């Protein structure tokens, strides 16, 4: 069995504030350890299901340099750094058997959701594919589905668990905190979060064939809404890019992977 573990940071137990996840802040350095332990819990769960498994661990937060390499379970292969193909989903290929999402969060605009955003919080306000609004979980499960890889499990707060029910019906969820607001949560102990993740992974892998992720086939009408009009200006240099209004970019992609890459490009260009 080959499994990809995509690890974000906003959804781990212990995190509630932007200082908790930004390099240079004292809390960030501590939370890197908590992040790595939740990733390790997922790795242990995979090997409990299949002792001969191969596990890829994609660091998927910010600049993708957050997991502490020497603390990561030695059986996992770490994918670290950016830029790289597929961003948060680095390592994705049709020969994978499943994807696990650890430490994920709600999409931009989700009410009462801890640190909710989509791709680049200061740039992107919403992403719509053929009229359907998608956050990072929705985009990443759809990309996995395009490659024929089932998403098996997501961990995070209760709002991303609710989002998962629409993005990938049947996916297993592990709720490690209950959102009280954008920067507040009631959460379980980090060690208990790890125990629950480790215990849930084998069950999720066994049931992965029953998950029905949203699949987006054929041409994709992509709409990306940004927070301010000037954030569209560099993106309009991309051939085929159009603008519906001051803050909404339009692009017709031939397939979903192209749409996914264009979203990533808009996020990067919006920071220039």
17 is known to lie in a ligand binding site: no
Please check whether residue 98 is in contact with residue 152, taking contact to mean a CB–CB distance below 8 angstroms: yes
pLDDT per residue as tens digits for the range 212-229? 999 999 999 999 999 999
Fold for the domain defined by 2-107+136-210: Rossmann fold (3.40.50)
Q: Which of 17, 25, 117, 172 is catalytic?
A: 117
Q: What is the pLDDT of residue 228?
A: 97
pLDDT per residue as tens digits for the range 189-198? 999 999 999 9
> Cα–Cα distance between 172 and 136 in angstroms, integer?
17
Q: Look up 117 and say whether it is catalytic.
A: yes
The owner of tokens 């709720």 is: 175
Extents of the domains making up the chain: 2-107+136-210
> Cα–Cα distance between 29 and 123 in angstroms, integer?
25
Q: Which residue blocks in the chain are alpha helix, DSSP H?
A: 26-49, 136-146, 158-167, 190-206, 256-269
136 is known to lie in a ligand binding site: yes
Tokens of 143: 């990309």
10 is known to lie in a ligand binding site: yes
Quote the pTM value: 0.97
Q: What is the pLDDT of residue 78?
A: 98
């Amino acid at each position: 069995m080959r499994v990809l573990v995509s690890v974000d940071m906003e959804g781990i137990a212990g995190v509630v504030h932007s200082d908790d996840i930004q390099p240079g802040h004292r809390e960030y350095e501590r939370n890197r350890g908590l992040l790595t332990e939740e990733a390790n819990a997922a790795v242990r769960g995979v090997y409990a299901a299949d002792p001969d498994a191969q596990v890829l661990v994609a660091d998927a937060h910010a600049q993708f340099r957050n997991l502490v390499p020497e603390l990561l379970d030695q059986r996992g292969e770490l994918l670290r750094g950016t830029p790289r193909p597929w961003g948060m989903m680095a390592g994705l290929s049709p020969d994978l058997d499943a994807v696990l999402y650890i430490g994920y969060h709600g999409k931009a605009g989700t009410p009462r959701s801890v640190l909710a955003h989509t791709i680049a919080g200061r740039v992107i306000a919403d992403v719509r594919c053929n009229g359907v609004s998608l956050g990072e979980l929705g985009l990443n499960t759809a990309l996995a589905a395009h490659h024929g890889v089932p998403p098996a499990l997501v961990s995070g707060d209760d709002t991303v668990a609710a989002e998962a029910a629409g993005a990938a019906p049947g996916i297993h969820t592990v709720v490690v905190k209950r959102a009280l607001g954008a920067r507040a949560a009631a959460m379980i102990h980090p060690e208990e979060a790890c125990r629950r993740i480790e215990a849930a992974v084998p069950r999720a892998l066994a049931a992965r064939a029953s998950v029905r992720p949203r699949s987006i086939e054929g041409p994709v009408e992509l709409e990306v809404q940004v927070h301010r009009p000037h954030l569209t200006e560099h993106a309009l240099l991309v051939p085929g890019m159009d603008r519906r209004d001051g803050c909404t970019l339009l692009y017709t992609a031939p397939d979903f992977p192209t749409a996914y890459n264009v979203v990533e490009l808009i996020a990067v260009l919006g920071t220039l």
